[in-house]
Amino acid sequence: MYVDTDGVVIRQVKTGDGRRMLLLFTRQYGKISAGTSINERGKNKSALAIRPFTYGHYDIFKGRNYFSLNGAEVKNSFYKIGEDVDKFMLASQMLEFTDKLLPEGEPNERIFDTLVDFFRMLAERKSKHETLSSAYQFRALKFAGLEPQLSACAVCGKKLQGGAGAGYAYFSVKEGGLLCEECAAEAKKAAGSAKNLIYKVSFDIIDILRYFMNNPLEKLKSVGLEEDKQKEVSRILSAYIGYHLGIEDIMSKDIYNLLKESN
Ligand SMILES: [Zn+2]
């Protein structure tokens, strides 16, 4: 059966015999692997559409147990991402994160559209790129059904609203969200000398996390977090993603070191 769909290339590997295997995140079929004889060094329009960070339209043959890519066309190449090493690194990390987040063959249009928004905005962005990637990750976690609980204690359910002068709460990576003072103390006691992955977080930061989760990326267009706030957000996010998706290895070294210091 011949089908066509919008998609983003997550990665490609050569499989010998002049063919490649593409891992595509498609709007219609979710994450799929598709074999192809299209070569990215070629000069035709299909070749351009299998490069990294490209948003394209793909003509696919859908077999019973496999996909095969027959043709492709670029919708947006986001070439500016490839021209800036920081943007390139960050976009690569976000692709890896997205890959880990998505099960094979399950469409998720909201994550797909948010990823394309992320690429488009990153390509044009002048500074504070990490604010955008953190926001993308929170949105994607939410759309994958893995959002952290940020309005009430994840253990006892007590409302934790915050507001002016509200101080702080605790974020438990393992419990998947905020903890009240009492439950945090219990959890720390239960963990003993083992890593408890509980962070004391001010409501300033919690409000940022809530904002990221509940607003489209478009709202972040001219927003950049101050350095210390960004570090705090990245620290929590990396620990959360590392624990729930098992991808500590894609964290930047700075963030990794920060995490180690805090435990
Ligand atoms: Zn509680």
Residue 246 vs residue 101, higher pLDDT: 101
Instruction: Calculate how far, in angstroms, residue 153's C-alpha sits from the geometric centre of ligand 1.
Output: 5
Instruction: Calculate how far, in angstroms, residue 193's C-alpha sits from the geometric centre of ligand 1.
Output: 21
Q: Is residue 70 domain-shared with residue 135, that is, in the same domain?
A: no
Instruction: Calculate how far, in angstroms, residue 194's C-alpha sits from the geometric centre of ligand 1.
Output: 21
The domain boundary residue, chosen from 76, 106, 137? 76
- pLDDT (tens digit, 9 = 90+) per residue, 191-247? 888 888 999 999 999 999 999 999 999 999 999 999 999 999 999 999 999 999 987
Q: Is residue 259 domain-shared with residue 181, that is, in the same domain?
A: yes
Q: Is residue 56 domain-shared with residue 154, that is, in the same domain?
A: no
Say how far apart CA 158 and CA 183 lie, in whole Å.
10
pTM for this model (two decimals): 0.90
The domain boundary residue, chosen from 12, 44, 76? 76
Mean of pLDDT values over 116-120? 97
- pLDDT (tens digit, 9 = 90+) per residue, 27-48? 999 999 999 988 777 778 888 8
Q: How many residues does the chain have?
A: 263
The domain boundary residue, chosen from 56, 76, 96? 76
Instruction: Calculate how far, in angstroms, residue 166's C-alpha sits from the geometric centre of ligand 1.
Output: 16
pLDDT at 248: 62
Mean of pLDDT values over 164-186? 91
Confidence band for 254, pLDDT divided at 50, 70 and 90: very low
Least confident of 43-52, 92-101, 167-176, 244-253: 244-253
Q: Is residue 254 domain-shared with residue 145, that is, in the same domain?
A: yes
Q: Is residue 239 domain-shared with residue 177, that is, in the same domain?
A: yes
Strand partners, 55: 8, 76
Q: Is residue 167 domain-shared with residue 233, that is, in the same domain?
A: yes
Instruction: Calculate how far, in angstroms, residue 199's C-alpha sits from the geometric centre of ligand 1.
Output: 14
Instruction: Calculate how far, in angstroms, residue 250's C-alpha sits from the geometric centre of ligand 1.
Output: 32
* Long-range contacts of 26-30, Cβ-Cβ distance < 8 Å, separation of 24 or more: 26/58, 26/60, 26/107, 26/112, 27/107, 27/109, 27/112, 27/113, 28/3, 28/107, 29/3, 29/5, 29/62, 29/67, 29/105, 29/107, 30/102, 30/103, 30/104, 30/105, 30/106, 30/107, 30/108
Instruction: Calculate how far, in angstroms, residue 205's C-alpha sits from the geometric centre of ligand 1.
Output: 19
Is a pLDDT exceeding 50 seen at residue 258?
Answer: no
- pLDDT (tens digit, 9 = 90+) per residue, 11-24? 888 888 889 999 99
State how many domains the chain has: 2
- pLDDT (tens digit, 9 = 90+) per residue, 66-89? 899 999 999 998 989 989 999 999
Instruction: Calculate how far, in angstroms, residue 178's C-alpha sits from the geometric centre of ligand 1.
Output: 8
Instruction: Calculate how far, in angstroms, residue 196's C-alpha sits from the geometric centre of ligand 1.
Output: 16
pLDDT at 256: 43
Instruction: Calculate how far, in angstroms, residue 159's C-alpha sits from the geometric centre of ligand 1.
Output: 9
Instruction: Calculate how far, in angstroms, residue 185's C-alpha sits from the geometric centre of ligand 1.
Output: 9
Is a pLDDT exceeding 80 seen at residue 249?
Answer: no
Question: Which residue segment(s) compose the domain that 13 sits in?
Answer: 2-76
